[in-house]
Structure 1
Amino acid sequence: MSAPTKAPKLAVAHLTALELTPLEWVTQAARAGFDAVGLRLNPTSADAIAYPSIVGSEAHRVLRRVLADEGMTVHDVEFIPMLPDIDVASYAPMFDAAADLGARCVTVSGDDPDAGRLAANLAALCELAAQYGLRVDLEFMRWRHVGTLKQARSMVERVASANLAILVDALHLARSGGSPADVRALSVGMVRAVQLCDASQHAPVGDDATILEARTGRLPPGEGVLPLIDLLDALPAGTALGVEMPLPSLPAKDRLELAYRSTRAMLEVACRRHESLGESQQ
């Protein structure tokens, strides 16, 4: 990613403080300094937390008003697990709400062992999302059927929808054996967004421990061993930047402030590195 002329806009994923309702979430994220938020409108599983929003409802109107009052935008809405029996058409109300809130994309995961069926369903979802002006970002996670960057790339190439891209989460990239060099090798336009966090040197063993780390054990950017600056360098210009840092040991307010402060500090280090490299090449 080329050095920005001004501080890049920074979004924060709802998982960072999923206990907050959308109104609380938008308000506290804005006060922490973020420019945009993600919204969990659909659960990752049947028993997971989510906050559906219906266009025309009073709650939806209030959410729109709070977003405007706080000067916040919605980067993405989540989460759609692409299961074998997915009913693509049933997500039209979610996409309607996302578009009405000004969201840019919807995040999905690949959860079907049949690659052909997954590709067909993903293509249908992309077609539906396009009707609402939304991009679809496929997020790979080690414990899912689309678990690596290589698998995500293969699926995106197979579907070949103009509004389909890959979401690179720094933790999932590292824990699935990927590297910034792998990201750099992707064709232009394949990655449109990145989620930043840090992690300890010791990778968890097994899916259960990996899931637990992803949901409760991430570290603030700059406090672990992930090659975040190298990852930023590997991203194309214009990649949307976000942070996902669930850290339940801290109150939500403190968590958001730490997520913002640590990410901004890391971005400043990356910027200085670009400036230093530029001077050395003159």
Structure 2
Amino acid sequence: MPPVAFVALAADLGCRYISTALTSNPYNPSIYPPFSLRDDPTLRREMIAAMRDRDVSISLGEGMVVREGADIQDGVGDLEIMAELGVRRINTVSLDPDLDRSIDQFGILAENAASLGMETTVEASPGLTVPDLPSALDVVRRVGRPDFRLLVDTMHIVRSGSGPDDLARLDPGVIGYIQLSDAPLVPAIPHYMEEAMFERMVPGTGELPLLDVLEVLPRDLVIGLEIPLRAAAMAGVGPHERVGRCVDAARGLLARLAARPHQA
């Protein structure tokens, strides 16, 4: 969604945080016009004003991708814009098949982010250079910075072969952010990224052990909802209804979690 409208939607649904990249997703449905917070300082000012007025802030800055043949150092300007928008945490993934180079790039990114008051998380996903939880933990260890931590995406973690028991064994301090979605345990769509980017499921409507996962994660972290529902959007279901279903389901899940004694 365009940034100011997105802020308003979050506030209308009683959410205090959003995540965003600086530009619209190139794969976005055509129902939304493109935008660029990078190139449009007026839009940045309008978004900052909207966030201030509606008590919404950006919990995660997206789009800091390590790519083969590119230098993450060239993205310092984007980090400065994120800082201008009040971002305190950015997320990264790598599309560079060279793991050692990816780790070097992660370290440079984390150092640059820290100089602007931001911490960094790394996200593991099947099909990416960091494909699973063990790989992500090794990357965090090798980067070796307390402000470089793990983003736990429930779909990616479970689909890559880990589960609540694996997460329970982690030092809670290594986890920096949580992204919640549901999915079937056996893929319903042949291509993993097609499903992950466009057709996840509302919490509680799939088969992931979400309550057991959340039970062992720190409870002082922001939980983002990364639940793309492209088919519903293209069928004309509006953003308030689409996102509202996800918010309501997540709150119901957290209410059930709160009724459990915390074991972690």
TM-score by length of 2: 0.89
Question: 1:111 deviation in Å?
Answer: 2.0
Cα distance in 2 for residues equivalent to 1:86 and 1:55: 20
Counterpart of 1:26?
7
Question: 1:48 deviation in Å?
Answer: 4.3
Counterpart of 2:59?
75
Cα distance in 1 for residues equivalent to 2:93 and 2:245: 28
Cα distance in 2 for residues equivalent to 1:126 and 1:70: 30
User: Secondary structure of 1:273's match?
Assistant: coil
For the 8 Å contact 2:66–2:95, the answer to whether it is kept is yes
Counterpart of 1:129?
113
Counterpart of 2:103?
119
Selected match of 2:243 from 256, 274, 282: 256
Counterpart of 1:215?
197
For the 8 Å contact 2:23–2:38, the answer to whether it is kept is no
| Percent identity of paired positions between Structure 1 and Structure 2 | 26
Counterpart of 1:142?
126
Selected match of 2:16 from 30, 35, 56: 35
Gaps of 5+ in 2: 29-33
Residues matched between the structures, number: 253
Counterparts of residues 45-56 of structure 1 (less than 5 Å): 47-48=26-27, 51-54=35-38
1:51–1:129 Cα change, 3 Å: farther
Deviations 1:20-62 (A, max 9, x none): 1111111112112211000121577xx4457432499211111
Counterpart of 1:200?
184
Deviations 1:122-166 (A, max 9, x none): 111111111111111101110111110111111110110221111
Cα distance in 2 for residues equivalent to 1:158 and 1:177: 22
Cα distance in 2 for residues equivalent to 1:165 and 1:77: 14
User: Secondary structure of 2:120's match?
Assistant: strand
Matched, 1:167 2:155: no
Counterpart of 1:108?
92
1:256–1:199 Cα change, 3 Å: same
Counterpart of 1:247?
229
Question: 1:182 deviation in Å?
Answer: 1.2
Q: Which has the higher contact order (CA 8 A, sep 6+)?
A: 1
TM-score by length of 1: 0.83
Q: Cα RMSD between the aligned structures?
A: 2.0
For the 8 Å contact 1:221–1:263, the answer to whether it is kept is yes
Deviations 1:69-100 (A, max 9, x none): 11101101111221222322221221112112
Cα distance in 2 for residues equivalent to 1:233 and 1:221: 15
Selected match of 1:273 from 249, 260, 264: 260
1:127–1:159 Cα change, 3 Å: same
Cα distance in 1 for residues equivalent to 2:24 and 2:100: 25
Cα distance in 1 for residues equivalent to 2:97 and 2:169: 26
User: Secondary structure of 1:108's match?
Assistant: strand
Counterpart of 2:31?
none
For the 8 Å contact 2:159–2:185, the answer to whether it is kept is no
